[in-house]
Chain A
């Protein structure tokens, strides 16, 4: 599964994307965020406040309880500030 990071999440993680293979007990977007946060200090810093992290599965906005099974690409990013 490809994980993409944008804006300050990208800066904190230190990379724009990575490929991960989470274990079977990682079922939802929130599970994945917790699992990623446990990887190292950089990831922990990026995910320290889950309330300000948004996610998209295969380029569609989702809630934290969305299941990630079968997803090719998951993106994590802060609330959007375009327009």
Chain B
């Protein structure tokens, strides 16, 4: 099973992962990555009260599906699920889920890392921080571009 979803509701990472191995005996490795909302204070000490995620409906799903197609061309996956939330997300809540399943761990680990690196720089989502009355749009990080670029370096 291969699936990508964009939703506002909280997801259940364990249940999503179980769907990739239930009733199968060929899955030897299941990697689950969950990205969570942190409450890190900003430079002035103001704690984060929420993240608001904006997305490009239609393109977000299509771009995630394109990344998944690329991962399937590169690694022998038996299944994968990508879920990305949008809307208002509170500290401690999950934002994004990538689950990859394969016969062996190398493919499952590598495909999960690849998918997360590419999602961060290419999936059309934008985070805005709420810090009490303050806040603002999150700036893109050069380290994320570098992480995504390492998959095309060779």
Chain A residues within CB distance 8 Å of chain B: 4, 6-8, 10, 56, 59-61, 75, 77-83
Contacts and interface: CB of A to CB of B under 8 A. Distances in A.
A67 B9 CA distance: 38
Contact of A81 (B56, B59, B62, B138): B138
Interface stretch (B21-29, B71-79, B101-109, B115-123): B115-123
Interface residues of B, number: 28
A74 to B, nearest CB: 11
Contacts of B87: none
A75 B138 CA distance: 19
B126 A82 contact: yes
Q: Is the interface of B mostly helix, strand, loop or mixed?
A: mixed
A7 B128 CA distance: 8
A83 B119 contact: yes
Contact of A83 (B54, B63, B96, B139): B96
A83 B59 contact: no
B125 A83 contact: yes
A83 B38 CA distance: 13
Contact of A80 (B35, B58, B140): B140
Given A7-B128, A59-B58, A82 B120 contact: yes
